[in-house]
Structure 1
Amino acid sequence: MVSLRGKMQSKVLLFALFGHRLTLTVHVLVAQLLLGYLPKDRALWEQELAKKRSQYEAFKDEFLPNTVGGSSTTGGSEGHSDGNAEHVEHGFLDRSEIAQDDHPLSLGKTSQWNQFAEHSEMIEQVDRDVKRTHPDIHFFCGDSSFAKSNQDSLRNILIIFAKLNAGIRYVQGMNEILAPLFFVFRNDPDYKNANFAEADSFFCFVELLSGLRDNFCQKLDNSVVGIRGTLSKLSQLLKKYDGELQHHLEITTEVNPQFYAFRWITLLLTQEFNFADIIHIWDTLLSDPDGPQETLLRICCAMLILVRKRLLAGDFSSNLKLLQSYPPTNIGHLLYVANKLQ
């Protein structure tokens, strides 16, 4: 029997090959099914959605009130004031009652002050990145209440993700990976689902990053499973299918994959193509039953092969410029070439 993902993979591949666009409703279902957010049994969809959406509201209640300051973890809550009352004189704690980890100058990782500073820095980074998300699209940018509401949703999701994933936290660029998911879910023609786009996007974002998290973990950068290991796989794939091009790029002109493909891979090509093409590419990425990484590498390899003539004629400067600002291309043809690299 053909698996559900196998069926979806064939269906999405047909769309990719012939260049048609899926409707938004199908986009939503494809993403939620392939990412494992919706169970295979359709009878369970409503129950599972209600459960996950309720869970997300609980996450918001737990994490978002404490993102600006005044958190109970920094002291100052009513629950802690009575316990210290006998040690307070004129509003100040006695020096002997201040634990080392509570000292404002403590550099310890468990220091509440240090944790608060790191958290504040993360919030500021999220805010900056959210405001820079697709500035050319009114859905994400502008003075309208709708755009601001969408920015708030992106911010909420990224902060909650960072709080729940202390080993990774927030990494710059995650907003770009979240944006296509949220855009599709928020524009679902079924307004009942569109109203829960934030919750649905959060869980699908978590599922998507679960297969890519090693690329974001700094401790694994130099390991086989880290980003440099992934870049090495791209180099090997290119060598397998076009050894001449691989040699010219990496040996002759010394344009190594980390100079251009680091962004391609970590941001799932969201910076290389227009938004409509990104969603089209993601239909194929999400259809890979083993996760998006292998398909992503094939697409990256196909991108190099499609501009091989220009690369073979170029030097370090021209090749680097070309690959860092990839030229417009026919996405259907790109995916066709990538599918041939099996």
Structure 2
Amino acid sequence: MSIYRARVKEFEDALKEDEIQLKYLHELCFNGIPDGYSFRSLCWKILLGYLGHKRLTWEETLSRKRSLYRQFIEDLVIPPGIAATNGENGCLNDHPLSEGPESAWNTFFNDNEFLLQIDKDVRRLCPDISFFQQPTEFPCDIVANSKGERRLHQRVVPSILSSANVERKGLGVTKQINLITKRSFESYSAMEEGQEAHWEIVQRILFLYAKLNPGQGYVQGMNEIVGPIYYVMASDPDIETRKHAEADSFFCFTALMSEIRDFFIKTLDDTEGGIKFVMTKLSNMVKQKDPEVFERLRHQELHPQYYSFRWLTLLLSQEFPLPDVVRIWDSVFSDEHRFDFLIRICCAMILIQRDLILENDFASNVKLLQNYPPIDINIVLSHAVSLK
């Protein structure tokens, strides 16, 4: 039996148990989940806490959560005018120009402010692959039945864009949308009526997350977190898994964000769970493992926030090709201490480049670390394991 086939057998045996042995499953997934099967989508659901360790609970959990997600769409995505024509309460006497706090139309227009940024971000998600531009097999039937009024991208009129600021609640750079009269996308186009591209589904997931988490809302970079999760669910070999990829991705993303949400909230940067604290841990690890590299970066005043802020906040999703990101997340999600291994991966990335770092000037090192060179991801992961 080949090593690969033996690995597949290990996963098959582990996942068919009535009660999943979580510690053993974590050990299996840490070393990489085999491609070509439905293992990864199922394992991620378990590792992220969406599914429990008892198989008997899975069917009920999935049915309940998927039904709940559908209700979220009905309640939170539909424009007030559509709801009113459908005879729902609370909208018949509401006026689009109303500015009252209880006005559904006022909420609708306020929602469009952050939807504008979501729309911009998801249209350029993972541009190195065509997946997110392709149509899904399972466009939302709620969207199709309303003749498109509920397709979120249609709220953001492509030809007109007023000025707006996106508040930085945790991500490093605040971006401002400038006042322009014509919006031209060098990015993905929406599908014709009756179809949906995968990026349109990611847009709806992020919109609903922002609506259901008003204290946090949408922050740039969240699209890079949900993208790989949705990719795994929507490209699963099992048709039933693909059919419910949107709802399952939403709850997996929500579970993951509950663990890393402090990264996205600026006021928590200095707390133990904040991004500054995590960057300090990385810097201390580099100092411990390679004092010479640490001193070189310190002497050049190349602070961790110049490069590792994005690495850590976005879980390396922008540093490597998507298949490598998925492999990294197998290990990160399986790590007993969750994000300790992420810090070791980042440390390994620095130490692997030690010769260049010691030779380069400041500008060259900034370029090196902000645009990490292509590398076999297994080399990085092996080095990270050796740092424990």
Bin the TM-score by the shorter chain.
Answer: 0.7 to 0.9
Which residue matches 2:16?
none
CA distance in 1: counterparts of 2:75 and 2:56, whole angstroms: 31
- Is 1:160 the equivalent of 2:208? yes
CA distance in 2: counterparts of 1:154 and 1:326, whole angstroms: 26
Which residue matches 1:173?
221
CA distance in 2: counterparts of 1:218 and 1:58, whole angstroms: 31
Which residue matches 2:365?
319
1:48 Cα offset (Å): 1.1
Mark the CA change 1:295 to 1:70 in structure 2 (over 3 Å): closer, same or farther. Answer: farther
- Is 1:140 the equivalent of 2:132? yes
Which residue matches 2:249?
201
CA distance in 2: counterparts of 1:23 and 1:6, whole angstroms: 24
- Is 1:11 the equivalent of 2:23? no
CA distance in 1: counterparts of 2:61 and 2:287, whole angstroms: 45
Matches for 1:82-231 after TM superposition, within 5 Å: 102=100, 118-141=110-133, 148-231=196-279
The equivalent position to 1:44 in structure 2, one of 40, 44, 57, is: 57
Which residue matches 1:302?
348
- Is 1:27 the equivalent of 2:40? yes
- Is 1:288 the equivalent of 2:359? no
| Larger Rg, first or second structure (1 or 2) | 1
Which residue matches 2:280?
232
- Whether the aligned pair in 1 keeps the contact of 2:48 and 2:252 (CA below 8 Å) is yes
1:289 Cα offset (Å): 2.9
1:118 Cα offset (Å): 4.2
CA distance in 2: counterparts of 1:264 and 1:59, whole angstroms: 32
CA distance in 2: counterparts of 1:147 and 1:44, whole angstroms: 33
Kindly indicate which of the two structures has a greater share of residues assigned to helix: 1
Deviations 1:201-223, CA, capped at 9 Å, x for gaps = 00000111111010001221233
Mark the CA change 1:263 to 1:24 in structure 2 (over 3 Å): closer, same or farther. Answer: farther
1:185 Cα offset (Å): 0.6
Q: Which amino acid aligns with 1:139?
A: F
Which residue matches 1:53?
66
CA distance in 2: counterparts of 1:114 and 1:233, whole angstroms: 44
CA distance in 1: counterparts of 2:367 and 2:25, whole angstroms: 37
- Whether the aligned pair in 2 keeps the contact of 1:134 and 1:140 (CA below 8 Å) is yes
Give the TM-score of the pair, scaled to structure 1.
0.82
1:13 Cα offset (Å): 3.3
1:166 Cα offset (Å): 1.2
CA distance in 2: counterparts of 1:234 and 1:118, whole angstroms: 39
1:4 Cα offset (Å): 3.2
Q: Which amino acid aligns with 1:265?
A: L
When the two structures are aligned, how many residues end up with a matched partner?
309
CA distance in 2: counterparts of 1:51 and 1:295, whole angstroms: 33
1:21 Cα offset (Å): 4.4
- Whether the aligned pair in 2 keeps the contact of 1:130 and 1:155 (CA below 8 Å) is yes
Give the TM-score of the pair, scaled to structure 2.
0.73
CA distance in 2: counterparts of 1:59 and 1:299, whole angstroms: 37
Which residue matches 1:106?
none
SS at match of 2:77: helix
Which residue matches 1:105?
none
- Whether the aligned pair in 2 keeps the contact of 1:167 and 1:217 (CA below 8 Å) is no
SS at match of 2:302: coil
Runs of 5+ consecutive residues of structure 2 not aligned to the other structure: 1-18, 134-187
Which residue matches 1:88?
none
Which residue matches 2:159?
none
Q: Which amino acid aligns with 1:121?
A: E
Deviations 1:275-332, CA, capped at 9 Å, x for gaps = 11111111101101333x2111111011001111110111110000000110111211
The equivalent position to 1:252 in structure 2, one of 289, 299, 315, is: 299
CA distance in 1: counterparts of 2:109 and 2:268, whole angstroms: 25
Between 1 and 2, higher relative CO (CA 8 Å, sep ≥ 6) is seen in 1
Mark the CA change 1:252 to 1:52 in structure 2 (over 3 Å): closer, same or farther. Answer: same
Q: Which amino acid aligns with 1:205?
A: F
Deviations 1:165-191, CA, capped at 9 Å, x for gaps = 112111111111111111111111111
Runs of 5+ consecutive residues of structure 1 not aligned to the other structure: 85-90, 103-109
Q: Which amino acid aligns with 1:226?
A: G
CA distance in 1: counterparts of 2:20 and 2:131, whole angstroms: 36
Which residue matches 1:87?
none
Mark the CA change 1:115 to 1:248 in structure 2 (over 3 Å): closer, same or farther. Answer: farther
Q: Which amino acid aligns with 1:58?
A: Q
- Is 1:273 the equivalent of 2:320? yes
- Aligned identity (percent) is 39
CA distance in 1: counterparts of 2:36 and 2:69, whole angstroms: 27
1:147 Cα offset (Å): 8.6
Q: Which amino acid aligns with 1:231?
A: M
In angstroms, what is the RMSD of aligned CA positions? 2.8
